[in-house]
């Protein structure tokens, strides 16, 4: 049954509040001596639990089951496919980085197994939280009420806003986070599989951690052949955006040829 836009807006407001609320709760329950990696891990798991519980309540009230979003016996197959595709995109993101500022990969001498485990767990937690929160109930109801454009762009606006408020530069938020959100939405339309899209998102984050970022949890580290100047970053972000939109356009083409599920 179609819901009014105010009802849908209220759902997204609660999702956004929980994203920030997780930081507050983690600060209360995690001792400062545990370190930022443990705090981030705890925050991601807390946000995941809050958002999944919220969405479950909305779905139950609407008489909708998780099977509508592809959660069932064969979820693991779609999850494995999403992991492979997300890792492939993360590797592809290294291309615009290399073209703008050439680099090579080297062994990360600061690698820590504990940091890797915490970062991996955090990626799973936040990936599930964000895909449940932005690509299931709210997006589905928007699709019924206002059509595919609103279903893609309204969750994206909230998604970008939360990331920018959390410290992501606004241009990176617009180009990379925004196009990623549109891409995840298109993948959800095409596959109707939360396991696939969540795994894709998780693997993309893990691939970035392994290949393009350097921390104690990174398997490798990029060694740049020149300084990564601020002036070069928009070109990198633009290249990532173009790759995201290429994936999104392919997903939309599949969606247009796929029968629509009943509201």
What integer is the mean pLDDT of 103-121? 94
Q: Note the pLDDT tens digit of each residue in 35-75.
A: 889 999 999 999 999 999 999 999 999 999 999 999 988 89
Q: Note the pLDDT tens digit of each residue in 13-30.
A: 999 999 888 888 888 888
Phi first, then psi: what are they for 224, rounded to 5°? -80, 145
- Choose among 12, 72, 18, 79: nearest CA to 45: 18
What integer is the mean pLDDT of 76-88? 96
Who contacts 34 (Cβ-Cβ below 8 Å, separation ≥6)?
none
Distance CA 129, CA 47 (A): 6
Residue 154: burial class (beta carbons within 10 Å; 0-12, 13-18, 19+): buried
Q: Note the pLDDT tens digit of each residue in 156-200.
A: 999 999 999 989 999 999 999 999 999 999 999 999 999 999 999
Phi first, then psi: what are they for 220, rounded to 5°? -130, 170
Using pLDDT thresholds of 50, 70 and 90, give the confidence band for residue 92. Answer: very high
Residues of the chain above pLDDT 70, percent = 97
Using pLDDT thresholds of 50, 70 and 90, give the confidence band for residue 124. Answer: very high
- Choose among 57, 19, 216, 198: nearest CA to 137: 57
Residue 112 confidence (pLDDT) above 90 = yes
Q: Note the pLDDT tens digit of each residue in 138-148.
A: 999 999 999 99
């Amino acid at each position: 049954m179609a819901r009014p836009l105010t009802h849908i807006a209220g759902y997204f407001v609660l999702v956004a509040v929980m994203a920030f609320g997780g930081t507050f709760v983690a600060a209360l329950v995690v001792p400062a001596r545990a370190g930022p990696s443990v705090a981030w891990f705890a925050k991601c798991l807390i946000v995941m639990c809050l958002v999944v519980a919220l969405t479950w309540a909305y779905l139950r009230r609407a008489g909708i089951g998780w099977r509508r979003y592809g959660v069932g016996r064969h979820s693991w197959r779609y999850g494995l496919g999403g992991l492979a595709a997300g890792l492939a995109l993360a590797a592809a993101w290294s291309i615009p980085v290399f073209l703008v500022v050439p680099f090579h990969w080297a062994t990360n001498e600061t690698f820590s197994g504990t940091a890797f485990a915490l970062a991996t767990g955090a990626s799973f937690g936040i990936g599930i939280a964000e895909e449940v929160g932005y690509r299931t109930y709210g997006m589905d109801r928007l699709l019924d009420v206002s059509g595919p454009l609103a279903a893609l762009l309204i969750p994206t606006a909230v998604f970008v806003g939360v990331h920018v408020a959390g410290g992501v530069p606004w241009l990176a938020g617009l180009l990379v986070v925004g196009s990623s959100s549109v891409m995840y939405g298109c993948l959800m339309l095409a596959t109707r599989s939360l396991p696939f899209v969540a795994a894709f998102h998780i693997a993309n984050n893990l691939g970035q951690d392994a290949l393009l970022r350097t921390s104690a949890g990174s398997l490798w580290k990029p060694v740049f052949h020149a300084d990564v100047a601020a002036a070069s970053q928009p070109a990198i972000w633009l290249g990532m955006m173009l790759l995201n939109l290429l994936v999104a356009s392919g997903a939309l083409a599949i969606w247009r040829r796929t029968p629509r599920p009943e509201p």
